[in-house]
Amino acid sequence: MSELKNKKILLVITGGIAAYKSLELIRLLKKKGSLVKTILSKNAHKFVTPLSVSSLSQEKVYSDLFDPTSEAEMDHISLSRWADIILIAPATANTLSKISNANADDLASTVLLAADKEFFIAPAMNVRMWENKSNKNNVSILKNMGHEFIGPDIGDMACGEYGEGKMTEPPEILKHLEAKFKELKNNNGLKALVTAGPTKEFIDPVRYITNKSSGKQGYEIANLLKRSGFNTTLISGPTQLDSIKGVNTININSAKEMFDAVIENLPVDVAIFSAAVADFKVKDISETKIKNKENYNLSLEKNIDILKHVSNHNSLRPKLVIGFSAETNDIIENSQKKINEKNCDWLIANDVSNQEIGFDSDFNEVSILYKNGEIEKISKDKKSVIANKIVKKIVSNLE
Ligand code: CTP
């Protein structure tokens, strides 16, 4: 049975030449047993007719924000609540601009602005429009908001040019949606825990020891685990990052607080320790601000190693334990020692000496070391892309 059977799909069709493909998309979705409601944007009417859309979907087509009968039947808030998923196909550059900038001037954009779930977006536009810097910024905003892009594909365009910007063919879009539903079903009930960011070890009420970790890589991983259907807990040191909708986030300062939060949130199926935990804490934290003087000796003591503790726990050890390894030199050699010392299943090693990757950058380049000695390199890419690859590996490992 198809994963799409009885799924409620809200299809938003916007005004591009590729809108004709959305008719085929509706036909295929109906064949799989999906329930399809459609919204036509103002401009979509110039490419497909409400009659052809409603004939195929066997449902009324919604398009007018101020239509009293539609609003009485199913208003713009209920439409998005009704849906299991919201698919925008085709999504024009204008639509991407509107939804990334909260501009609502017709029913389609109003429903999307009021939606309580992430969208699947199948863009379609001329290659230059796709590559335009403003459009790229909009795409990046939407990706950061957790929306998922399907395509666009590369090929000949209706305008005669060639390049990236074609709407993905309907059978491919269907495959993507089916895979997503399958993943959500398989991972339903699985729990994940992620640590991220730096820790702060206080010296006195106003001073502390910390490090340059931004938390970006861990947040990306937590976000993708949640989107893959995991019940996800993120234990975060102090960062500048926005909290992630749907991820249970616990904010902590010190390594000790991180340790306590981790233990409280076990057991889980997979734990990813991406936090840059301070190895040492201050022995006697001063209750008052330390006064300026000639000399001051800071006395430090070791923090508990959270990853090592969890990896070696008899009853609470997750099925899959993943550590990170921040190194400035002899990255693989040092990480090989670390994976054995820490007894984790995988260790993701990254070079934190390079300003362009690692700490505080949007990019990363990592090597995954496995317990059996294998090493797999993931070349330089955005942290979101690296996270995607790591989460895919986690999902297939747990399968
Ligand atoms: N880690 C931890 N608790 C600590 C120290 C580290 O859980 N007290 C975890 C990190 O989250 C990471 C892994 O251990 O997953 C390796 O951390 P890293 O800082 O790279 O190495 P260290 O063990 O601190 O060793 P070193 O600083 O000597 O490289």
- Three-state secondary-structure class, residue 21: helix
Give yes or no: residues 154 and 285 share one domain.
no
Give yes or no: residues 175 and 101 share one domain.
yes
Q: Report how far residue 192's alpha carbon sits from residue 185's, in angstroms, rounded to the nearest whole number.
A: 15
Say if CB 62 and CB 38 are below 8 A apart.
Answer: yes
- Three-state secondary-structure class, residue 315: coil
The reported pLDDT for the residue numbered 160 is 85
β-sheet bridge partners, residue 349: 325, 367
Which of residues 185, 201, 231 is at a domain's end?
Answer: 185
| Pocket residue to mutate for ligand 1, from 277, 311, 334, most atoms within 8 A of Cβ | 277
* pLDDT at residue 154 is higher than 90: yes
Q: How many angstroms is it from 276 CA to the middle of ligand 1?
A: 7
* pLDDT at residue 146 is higher than 90: no
Which of residues 150, 185, 220 is at a domain's end?
Answer: 185
To 5 degrees, how large is the angle CA 370–CA 375–CA 377?
125
Domain assignment of residue 1, yes or no = no
Q: Report how far residue 165's alpha carbon sits from residue 168's, in angstroms, rounded to the nearest whole number.
A: 9
- Is the beta carbon of 279 within 6 A of some atom in ligand 1? yes
Torsion of CA 6, 123, 144, 331, to 10 degrees: 100
- Is the beta carbon of 306 within 6 A of some atom in ligand 1? yes
Domain assignment of residue 237, yes or no = yes
Measuring CA to CA, how many Å separate 44 from each of 39, 179, 230? 9, 28, 36
Per residue in 75-126, pLDDT (tens digit) is 778 899 999 999 999 999 999 999 999 999 999 999 999 998 889 999 999 9
Give yes or no: residues 253 and 328 share one domain.
yes
Per residue in 15-36, pLDDT (tens digit) is 999 999 999 999 999 999 999 9
Give yes or no: residues 157 and 235 share one domain.
no
- Counting from 1 in the atom list of ligand 1, the atom nearest the Cα of 303 is 8
Instruction: Write out the residue range of the structural domain in which residue 64 sits.
Output: 8-185
Lowest mean pLDDT among 21-35, 55-69, 236-250, 270-284: 55-69
Per residue in 369-378, pLDDT (tens digit) is 999 999 999 9
Give yes or no: residues 202 and 177 share one domain.
no
Domain assignment of residue 2, yes or no = no
pLDDT band at 141 (very low <50, low <70, confident <90, very high): confident
Lowest mean pLDDT among 10-24, 62-76, 297-311, 359-373: 62-76
- Is the beta carbon of 323 within 6 A of some atom in ligand 1? yes
Q: Report how far residue 266's alpha carbon sits from residue 345's, in angstroms, rounded to the nearest whole number.
A: 17
* pLDDT at residue 341 is higher than 80: yes
* pLDDT at residue 358 is higher than 80: no
SS3 per residue for 32-63 = CCCEEEEEECCHHHHCCCHHHHHHHHCCCEEC
pLDDT band at 361 (very low <50, low <70, confident <90, very high): confident
Domain assignment of residue 41, yes or no = yes
The reported pLDDT for the residue numbered 270 is 98
Peptide bond before residue 152 is cis, with ω within 30 degrees of 0: yes
Mean pLDDT of 345-361: 86
Domain assignment of residue 178, yes or no = yes
Q: Report how far residue 99's alpha carbon sits from residue 104's, in angstroms, rounded to the nearest whole number.
A: 8
Give yes or no: residues 199 and 174 share one domain.
no
The reported pLDDT for the residue numbered 174 is 97
Give the residue from 273, 284, 261 showing the smallest Cα distance to 308: 273
Q: Work out the number of other CB atoms within 10 angstroms of the CB of residue 61.
A: 22
Which of residues 185, 212, 247 is at a domain's end?
Answer: 185
| Pocket residue to mutate for ligand 1, from 325, 330, 332, 369, most atoms within 8 A of Cβ | 325
**For position 156, which CATH number holds?**
3.40.50.1950
- Is the beta carbon of 324 within 6 A of some atom in ligand 1? yes
Give yes or no: residues 50 and 94 share one domain.
yes
Q: How many angstroms is it from 17 CA to the middle of ligand 1?
A: 53
β-sheet bridge partners, residue 198: 276
pTM of the model: 0.83
Indicate the burial class of 116 (C-beta count within 10 angstroms; 0-12, 13-18, 19 or more). Answer: exposed
Encoding tokens for residue 328? 């400035």
Q: How many angstroms is it from 361 CA to the middle of ligand 1?
A: 19
Mean pLDDT for the chain overall:
94
* pLDDT at residue 386 is higher than 80: yes
Domain assignment of residue 200, yes or no = yes
- Is the beta carbon of 391 within 6 A of some atom in ligand 1? no
Domain assignment of residue 3, yes or no = no
Q: Work out the number of other CB atoms within 10 angstroms of the CB of residue 270.
A: 23
* pLDDT > 70 in the chain, percent: 100
Give yes or no: residues 128 and 106 share one domain.
yes
Q: How many angstroms is it from 325 CA to the middle of ligand 1?
A: 7
Name residue, tokens 């066997």.
Answer: 58
Domain assignment of residue 117, yes or no = yes
Encoding tokens for residue 391? 């989460």
Give yes or no: residues 156 and 260 share one domain.
no
- Counting from 1 in the atom list of ligand 1, the atom nearest the Cα of 342 is 14
Give yes or no: residues 36 and 122 share one domain.
yes
DSSP class of 304: P
Q: For atom 16 of ligand 1, which residue has the closest CA?
A: 325
* pLDDT at residue 71 is higher than 90: no
Q: Where are the beta strands (DSSP E) in the chain?
A: 8-13, 35-40, 61-62, 85-91, 119-123, 148-149, 153-156, 162-166, 191-196, 201-204, 207-209, 231-236, 248-251, 270-273, 280-282, 300-302, 320-327, 346-351, 363-370, 375-382
Measuring CA to CA, how many Å separate 145 from each of 13, 169, 191, 242? 21, 25, 22, 10
* pLDDT at residue 232 is higher than 90: yes
Give yes or no: residues 192 and 181 share one domain.
no
Mean pLDDT of 157-167: 89
Give yes or no: residues 177 and 317 share one domain.
no
Give the residue from 76, 9, 75 showing the smallest Cα distance to 38: 9
Q: Which listed residue (145, 159, 179, 332) is catalytic?
A: 159
* pLDDT > 90 in the chain, percent: 81
**For position 328, which CATH number holds?**
3.40.50.10300
The reported pLDDT for the residue numbered 1 is 86
* pLDDT at residue 69 is higher than 90: no
* Helix (H) / strand (E) containing 137: helix 133-144
CA torsion sign for 355, 359, 363, 364 is positive
Number of domains in the chain: 2
To 5 degrees, how large is the angle CA 207–CA 209–CA 212?
120
User: Catalytic residue at 344?
Assistant: no
- Is the beta carbon of 369 within 6 A of some atom in ligand 1? no
